[in-house]
Chain A
Amino acid sequence: MAITDTLIPATDITDNQTVAVTLNGKKILICKANGDFYAVDNQCTHQRAELTGGRIRNCYLACPLHGVRFDLRTGKPIGELTRVPLKTYAIGLADNGNLKIEID
């Protein structure tokens, strides 16, 4: 069953910034790129490193450890270090102006 949860105010996150949150025990990273919000697992599929603070350029998030880049829209990685995509979550704006995401 999908659980919807509201998070931080959308205005608290600026472009190319990441914010780590924990929901239902899941570590999730909220990202903003080119004005849009994205939510992905906060764990690199290469070596499970935290992605918090990873550089965002255009719509790609780079893992701070070895530089694997993930397309925030699809979770798809670039490069040879991993072929496993990052899990992505639907994210939107709640009535109170907070971001909300749906998790399984």
Chain B
Amino acid sequence: MRWLMRLFASLRNASGTGEERGNSGAPVRGSDLENLKRAFQNIHDAEFVEIENERLGKVTLLYIRSLIDIKQLQEFVIAPLQRESGTDLRDIVHAAHLTALDNSEQAETAAFKGAVILHAGGRLWSVSLSSALNRAVEPSKQEAVIHGPQDSFTEQVENNLTLIRRRLAVSSLKSERFLVGGLSHTTVILLYIENLTNPELVRIAREKTAAVHSDAFFDSSHLSQFLEDHIHSVFPQFQQTDRPDAVAAALASGKVVWLVENTPFALIAPITFFDLFQSPEDYIHRWPVASFLRGMRFFAFLFAMVLTPFYVAITMHHYQMVPLDLLFVVLESRSEIPFNPFWEALFMMLVLEILKEASLRMPSKSGQTLGIVGGIVIGQAGVEANITSNLLIIHVAVTAIASFLIPNYLMTNSSKLIQFGLLGLAAWLGLWGITLGLILVLIHLNGLTSLKQPYFAPLTPFYGMDWKDTIVRLPLRWMPRRPAYLKPLDPCRMKSGNSRPEKKG
């Protein structure tokens, strides 16, 4: 196989296309201002303002109007330049973010990040005056909780950072900024708590982020696909959340978080399979209730994956397992259906998927009506026309509802896919096939990693203490240590100096 690849590569090199591509590289060096003016050609909202200052001379302002706040520009830059006078720009413009720049490339990048570029005295300066166009902090639509903090992230990465810093008010919360994407120059902030998070994790996170080479990222999930270890798996290896309390909890446990500009969803890693079933509400409910709900989620996941294949396996291969009364019910309901249980189940599941997808894209006004039409009428009509049996409709409907119990949205659709696979195996080899399918999924999970850490911890490798917060949620007082699979530098959560009253006067 490999020799074939090498042959193609050598053919490509020989054709000389590489040479031509190499030639268009290096820019012509001219003066910085001229470079900038050339770069900003054909951008109608790029503006150049020249101001004469008494001592500084001509000061040229370059900015992209749609990215900056005009009022602040007027107040903090243009007005002082017109009024005051001084030899150094720093004496005149009293803005907080005034930085000197080295070359025109930096100036270009900064200008597109909402800075105003000043050319004064032969040097380039930038002042960050981003426009305040942003969304207000609203409750999360994806992970709504009834009790608990209602704020969620917005598309502005600095606002998101504010929400997190308010929750983890320590200097050990470090934030490293990266710019990824050749075209989008998306700001990505890597967050971790020093002296807590295992430095190995931070190192891997940093390396992976720096190695990302694509051109545009519009969402954190695009970024995650370049950061993850296993691109072909149906299981997500990063958790995406827009809740700052979830992010803060993750950081406090020893995980690493990425905040990505222009999307409210932050990435959390490393995660395990069991993290996908946790919801922030678990820590708000009483612990027996929370344990029950969590256990139910696992059960619902398994149930949703296995119910329809189980039904198909039993009606196709293992009729002897059916209890007697149910046997006659099933016989009656299946007697006039022209299809195999397998085709019938497949057909119904596909119809359900179509309904689900369609309801996502329907305009909201017609969504509800069509949902009712689809669900009730089609189902009922199908049963009466003997295309499908009512037992199967019940199974498929219960499965659909049960699959939404999983807090992680991406997993809902993953479990659907696994269900289709199990359906095929059930039709071929009955319960033996379903078990084989489940074992294949387990083997897959066994070998999966998230940020190079085992995905199926704390099951394999086994960390006994971590089970206090996996399937059950034991009282917070009984969890003095952070999750062991993250190998935190400081494993104890509960220390005596953690709370103290504020001294008055």
Q: Do A and B bind each other?
A: no
